[in-house]
């Protein structure tokens, strides 16, 4: 009797352990880490499901490419730059037709861009729609070459910091992490540091410029994309010495989080969690260091067409996607782990952008501009106080 009981207990114990001894196929696949190279040469670590997601995304990209090519064939190579007029009357363009056509083109283009620009067309479309082509056209054709030659060999605090950061910019990348890659990235960053001495160089720009180089193919085009980004697309003073613009963006984001995701905001406040612990890097590097490259570039597709409000949409979406997990977190470290795990495995850009534009709610550039103006005085006051404290400490040290 005792022996039978022991055998039954043993059998029950073994049965209880079965899920551990014989995990499901899905569990084994989820735990199997594989390395693979993405479209832009980055080595990515993920599980088998991540690889499958990435393959599905690439198939969608190919399908989307066929849509773009069809439009190019029917409307012309640069159809997105000029309104298409369908009605002519005795050679005179009807204004109403022009407006309707321009509106139709704009709506078509907005939808297309949110679905993704095919990688092969990305350099051309970005350069045109962002304003980089227009900016380049206002200076002599030799501007970039003349600039890089003029600053060659000059040493400034900016060039020293750039030289320090080059080896740390996407280490291991097959082109960026080579002497040729470092040299190209250095010329772009140093050139811009002399073009705009107020910005000079700020850590974070190395990741942005590196990704621009991979997409745009040429240094000069990457330089002009960086210029239009810093001078027209993003908020002023984001990359100046005191990062005042970035501090303003963080405050605006906190306000938006309270309005768009009130449960998350309240829970994080209860945990005394400062969202800028994770979001500062997002806004300074434009997600280049946080999201997989192909997802980052899908965000940039929309950024260069719709403006900096897109960064808020994407940042809010990351929190919204993991709302239930975040609400169950009881430690600051747990929240950071949830967010970092999410961004690391966000191989499906459609998942992010669907939440960003369909579940976050409507936001206009004008609304965000008003929020910035509201936050600026308080940020400047805090930065001035911080500067006074630093100066006071320096005087005490003397």
The secondary structure of the chain, three-state, reads CHHHHHHHHHHHHHHHHHHHHCCCHHHHHHHCEEEEECCCCCEEEEEHHHHHHHHHHHHHHHHHHHHHHHHHHHHCCCCCCCCCCCCEECCEECHHHHHHHHHHHHHHHHHHHHHCCCCCCHHHHHHHHCCHHHHHHCCCCCHHHHHHHHHCCCCCHHHHHHHHHHHHCCCCCCCCCCHHHHHHHHHHHHHHHHHCCCCCCCCCHHHHHHHHHHHHCCHHHHHHHHHHHHHHHCCCCCCCCCCHHHHHHHHHHHHHHHHHCHHHHHHHHHCCCCCHHHHHHHHHHCCCCCCCHHHHHHHHHHHHHHCCHHHHHHHHHHHHHCHHHHHHCCCHHHHHHHHHHHHHCCCCHHHHHHHHHHCCCCCCHHHHHHHHHHHHHHHHHHHHHHHHHHHHHHHHHC
356 with 275, same domain: the answer is: yes
Q: Is residue 266 part of a domain?
A: yes
**Do 264 and 380 share a domain, yes or no?**
yes
Q: Which of 233, 268, 287 is the last residue of a domain?
A: 233
Is 248 found in the same domain as 385? yes
- Per-residue model confidence (pLDDT) at position 5: 44
High-pLDDT (> 90) share of the chain, %: 64
Is residue 313 in some structural domain? yes
Number of domains in the chain: 3
pLDDT at 245: 87
Residue 87 domain-assigned (yes or no): no
Q: Do residues 280 and 357 share a domain?
A: yes
Q: How confident is the model at residue 225 (pLDDT cuts 50, 70, 90)?
A: very high
Percentage of the chain lying above the pLDDT 70 cut: 85
Which domain CATH number covers 268?
Answer: 1.10.472.80
- Residue-range definition of the domain harbouring residue 202: 131-233
Q: Which of 233, 253, 271 is the last residue of a domain?
A: 233
**Tens digit of each residue's pLDDT (9 = 90 or more) over 338-382:** 999 999 999 999 999 999 999 998 898 888 989 989 998 988 888
> For 36-88, what is each residue's pLDDT tens digit?
888 899 988 888 888 888 889 889 989 999 999 998 899 888 888 864 333 33
Q: Is residue 167 domain-shared with residue 196, that is, in the same domain? A: yes
Domain boundary residue among 205, 233, 261? 233
Residue 304's pLDDT is: 97
Q: Are residues 349 and 376 in the same domain?
A: yes
| More confidently predicted of 4 and 256 | 256
pLDDT at residue 2 tops 90:
no
Together in a domain, 209 and 307: no
Q: What is the pLDDT of residues 249-273, one digit of tens each?
A: 999 999 999 999 999 999 999 999 9
Query: What pLDDT is stored for residue 50 in this prediction?
Result: 86
Mean pLDDT of 13-33: 46
Q: Is residue 25 part of a domain?
A: no
């Amino acid at each position: 009797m005792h022996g039978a009981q022991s055998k039954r207990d043993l059998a029950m114990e073994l049965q209880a352990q079965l899920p551990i001894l014989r995990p499901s196929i899905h569990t084994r696949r989820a735990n199997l880490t594989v390395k693979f190279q993405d479209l832009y040469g980055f080595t990515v670590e993920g599980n088998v499901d991540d690889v499958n997601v990435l393959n599905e995304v690439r198939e969608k990209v190919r399908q989307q490419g066929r849509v773009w090519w069809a439009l190019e064939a029917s409307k012309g190579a640069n159809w997105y730059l000029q309104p298409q007029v369908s009605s002519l009357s005795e050679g005179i363009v009807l204004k109403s037709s022009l407006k309707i056509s321009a509106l139709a083109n704009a709506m078509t283009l907005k939808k297309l861009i949110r679905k993704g620009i095919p990688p092969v067309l990305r350099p051309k479309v970005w350069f045109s729609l962002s304003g980089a082509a227009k900016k380049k056209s206002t200076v002599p054709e030799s501007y970039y070459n003349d600039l890089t030659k003029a600053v060659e060999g000059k040493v400034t605090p900016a060039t020293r910091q750039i030289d320090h950061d080059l080896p740390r910019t996407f280490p291991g990348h097959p082109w960026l992490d080579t002497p040729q890659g470092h040299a190209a990235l250095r010329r772009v960053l140093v050139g811009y540091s002399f073009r705009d001495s107020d910005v000079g160089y700020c850590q974070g720009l190395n990741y942005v410029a590196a990704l621009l180089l991979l997409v745009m193919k040429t240094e000069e085009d990457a330089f002009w994309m960086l210029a239009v980004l810093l001078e027209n697309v993003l908020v002023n003073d984001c990359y100046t010495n005191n990062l005042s613009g970035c501090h303003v963006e963080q405050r605006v984001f906190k306000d938006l989080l309270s309005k768009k995701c009130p449960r998350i905001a309240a829970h994080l406040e209860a945990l005394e969690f400062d969202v800028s612990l994770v979001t500062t890097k997002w806004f300074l590097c434009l997600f280049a260091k946080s999201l997989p490259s192909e997802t980052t570039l899908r965000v940039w597709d929309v950024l260069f067409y719709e403006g900096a409000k897109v960064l808020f949409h994407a940042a809010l979406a990351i929190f919204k996607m993991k709302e239930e997990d975040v609400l169950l977190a009881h430690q600051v470290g747990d929240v950071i782990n949830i967010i970092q795990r999410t961004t690391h495995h966000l191989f499906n850009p459609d998942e992010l952008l669907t939440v960003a534009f369909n579940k976050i709610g409507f936001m206009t550039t004008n609304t965000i501009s008003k929020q910035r103006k509201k936050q600026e005085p308080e940020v400047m006051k805090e930065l001035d106080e911080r500067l006074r404290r630093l100066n006071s400490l320096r005087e005490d040290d003397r």
